[in-house]
A and B are shown apart, each in its own frame.
Chain A
Amino acid sequence: MRILEYVLLIFLILCAIGATVSKRLLVTVIIFMAYSTVMAVIWLFLEAPDLAITEAAVGAGVTSILFFLTLKKVDSINKGTREK
């Protein structure tokens, strides 16, 4: 159980760094989605199920959708424009 906590926390930090350094915006947003999901799991570990449901619905759900829509709107997905 303890080890799983550490794994999740390290994964969280790696996700945060990955979202920072990744070159493509699409990848950034997907990593951020993973980050939110892991955060929801951590909140289950911390005995906060209300937050876990909310974070799963908001962070991994709606916020990511909004990011994707923005990316679509600025054509980053379609043209595969690499961020310079």
Chain B
Amino acid sequence: MDYKSDPNKIGKWERFFKWVNGEDSIDSVWEKEMRSKITGKRKKRRKTIEDTIERINSYSKKIYIILSVFITVVYIGILLYTVYELPEHGNPLNPANNEVSQRYIEHGVEETGALNIVSAMILDYRAFDTFGETVVLFTAVICVAILLRRTDEDKTDLEQDSFKSDRGDILKFAARLVFPIVVLYGIYVIINGHISPGGGFAGGTIIGAGLILYSAAFGDEKIKSILNYKSITVTTVSCLLIYFFSKGYSFFTGGNHIESVIPKGTPGNILSGGLILPLNICVGIVVACTMYGFYSYFTKGDI
């Protein structure tokens, strides 16, 4: 523009040095000028700019949709071709059926004392993964607590009332009937985890579902005396610690090639399978507490 004709104006470099030196007077004059210019232009152009942004947004949205559909379709195509090339389903000669699964099946019973080979695998052969998995659950419930746990000030929030509405008699009657059976079944699944299908995770979820049912039918007043924040935290943490130390013992002895002293028991009995039964119980309790914790954070914002 006409900066050069104006004696007050200065060159670019000079302005830069002044700016570096912090001489704000000149700088701010210039800034103000520029700012007023920009705002003036902005007022005029605001509408057109907004329109353009809207249009660009809608275009990019469309491009994004087309691109994602295209990518996904290509992706499915490639994967279908991959599946076509892969080994046959159900064939005993597949590469996956190798010495690893063979040892799990043929020596699993004598090496771990558990009849359920899946349980033996996840709680003994590959126990580190399962430890990680339990920690994932723990992490998730802590995250939910960070997000949804109420602080003391806003305990009297309105929205929690929507969960306090009067329950029907049918629900109460059914819950009274079903709750013991559900919990009993859950305990059965946990305790028989090493000799029949199931295990700590499935059983724990079933017990958790039973607790959720009870809490939904009878409200949280009754259940609160047993299951409150403190008791649930302490139970979860102590079960995790039992898990942690027993598995830590087994990893430590294994890593240092020391014979573990835990008896395996007779395969098929309830008291067998070495550490698998206590671990299943611990996992079951942790999972039940976690599921109930999810439920009560989601409804009441507190346990």
Residues on B with C-beta less than 8 A from A53 are 189, 197-198, 202
Residues of chain B in range 274-303 having any CB-CB distance to chain A below 8 Å: 291, 294-295, 298-299
A69:B209 contact, CB within 8 angstroms: no
Residues of chain B in range 191-223 having any CB-CB distance to chain A below 8 Å: 197-199, 201-202, 205-206, 208-209, 212
Residues on B with C-beta less than 8 A from A4 are none
A50:B198 contact, CB within 8 angstroms: yes
Interface size class of B (residues with CB under 8 A): 20 to 34
B298:A49 contact, CB within 8 angstroms: no
Residues on A with C-beta less than 8 A from B162 are 72, 78
Q: Of A48, A50, A57, which one neighbours B205 at CB under 8 angstroms?
A: A57
A50 to B202, CA, bound (A): 8
A58 to B163, CA, bound (A): 22
B154 contacts A by Cβ under 8 Å? no
Residue in chain A with minimal CB distance to B206: A57
A69:B205 contact, CB within 8 angstroms: no
A53 to B202, CA, bound (A): 6
Residues of chain B in range 160-192 having any CB-CB distance to chain A below 8 Å: 162-163, 189
- Chain A interface, number of residues (Cβ within 8 angstroms): 17
A48 to B199, CA, bound (A): 13
Residues on B with C-beta less than 8 A from A73 are 159, 298
Residue in chain A with minimal CB distance to B208: A62
B250 contacts A by Cβ under 8 Å? no
A54:B201 contact, CB within 8 angstroms: yes
Q: Of A57, A65, A66, A72, which one neighbours B202 at CB under 8 angstroms?
A: A57
**Complex interface bits, A52-68 against B, C-beta within 8 A gives 1, otherwise 0:** 11100110011001100
Residue in chain A with minimal CB distance to B216: A65
Residues on B with C-beta less than 8 A from A48 are 118
State the Cβ distance, A80 to closest chain B Cβ, in Å: 15
A70 to B212, CA, bound (A): 15
A70:B202 contact, CB within 8 angstroms: no
A50:B118 contact, CB within 8 angstroms: yes
List chain B positions with a Cβ less than 8 A from chain A.
116, 118-119, 159, 162-163, 189, 197-199, 201-202, 205-206, 208-209, 212, 291, 294-295, 298-299
| Besides A62-B205, A66-B298, 7 new A-B residue pairs in contact (Cβ under 8 A), listed by A number | A48-B118, A50-B198, A57-B205, A58-B205, A61-B205, A66-B294, A73-B159
A-B CB proximity, top 5 nearest: A49-B197, A57-B205, A69-B298, A53-B202, A54-B202
Q: List 15 A-B contacts (CB under 8 A).
A: A48-B118, A50-B118, A53-B198, A54-B201, A54-B205, A57-B209, A61-B206, A62-B205, A62-B209, A62-B291, A66-B295, A66-B298, A69-B298, A72-B162, A73-B298
